[in-house]
Amino acid sequence: MAVSSSSSAQQARQALADRLAELCRDAGLTGRDIAERCDWHPSKSSRIMNAKTPPSADDIRAWCQATGAEDQTDDLVASLRTAEGAWIGWRRMERTGLKQAQEARLPLYERTRRFRCYSSWLVPGLIQTREYTESVLRAVQRRRVEIDDVAEAVAARMERQRVLYEGGRRFAFLFEESVLRNSLGETDVQAGQLHHLLTLGSLPNVSLGIVPMRLARSRMPVEGFWIFDSAQVNVELISGYLTITQPSEVGMYAETFEELAALAVYGAPARALIASAMDALG
């Protein structure tokens, strides 16, 4: 399991380690006893109980058998999957291509009613045009994915955009002005995307905020993130995909979103920034 600095990921690992240590104590065993029964190196059980080494599913099965807690195996393996899911490296997430990674997020989008998204480098996926999405995913595929299923992945992302138009959902999109002037696509792709942003601003359930470039900002740009209701945050980093569910951490991202939103412009001033970026394209 890749190690993440997120306390959500760490707490999930620690909770699993604590539960395994509890089974050991309840059985009247020591870590060395577990290692002997499982035919492991003596230090392995100690590392697992101290959350220094994540167990595998097979390790958990052996642990439950050694402590006479076979009835808890399935629950503990499920806890392992939860801990692993808190941090997923791109190589693992995209090992079968980009389409599956796009489709896997759809249930989260379907059950969310309030979306908050901040981006410092790209137009958010839910409001991308097909051509812009193709440019983004093609760049990703060339950089790190051997399988070329970009066309299918683009179709999956376009399908996900239907949540924008289904009732009962609210969206707050917030991004830096530099996003309007940077693109992985050609001029016509960026022009089409900017025009699309102008039309999206008229949707009653969508708030579109742009943080203007300026000196002496009170809050500098941060990594892009999505807040789903008040339950979950997802962050795309260079090395992988981070899922945050700890309330205190979710609250930190919500606070950061509000701070950045206070710097943004909306309505006519935002449209003026978009129009200026379009003019710059010539």
Structure tokens at 134: 């193709």
Instruction: For CATH 1.10.260.40, list the domain ranges present in the chain.
Output: 7-85
Average pLDDT over every residue of 226-248: 89
Looking at domain 90-280, which of 1.20.950, 3.90.70, 3.40.1350, 3.30.870 is its CATH number? 3.30.870
pLDDT tens sequence across 164-211: 998 789 999 999 999 999 989 999 999 999 999 999 988 999 999 999
Structure tokens at 205: 């359930």
Spatial contact of 127 and 197, defined as CB atoms under 8 Å apart: yes
Where is average pLDDT lowest: 121-130, 199-208, 253-262?
199-208
In the prediction, which pLDDT does 79 show?
Answer: 76
pTM (two decimals): 0.78
Instruction: For CATH 3.30.870, list the domain ranges present in the chain.
Output: 90-280
Give CATH for domain 7-85. 1.10.260.40
Count the Cβ atoms, other than its own, within 10 Å of residue 145: 21
Q: What is the dihedral of CA 226, 142, 91, 237, to 10 degrees?
A: -30
Confidence band (pLDDT; 50, 70, 90) for 85? low
The Cα-based distances of 125 to 24, 154, 162 in angstroms read 46, 10, 12
Place of tokens 């807040």: 227
- Does residue 36 carry a pLDDT above 50? yes
Spatial contact of 224 and 122, defined as CB atoms under 8 Å apart: yes
212 CB-side CA count, 13 A: 12
More confident residue, 115 or 88: 115
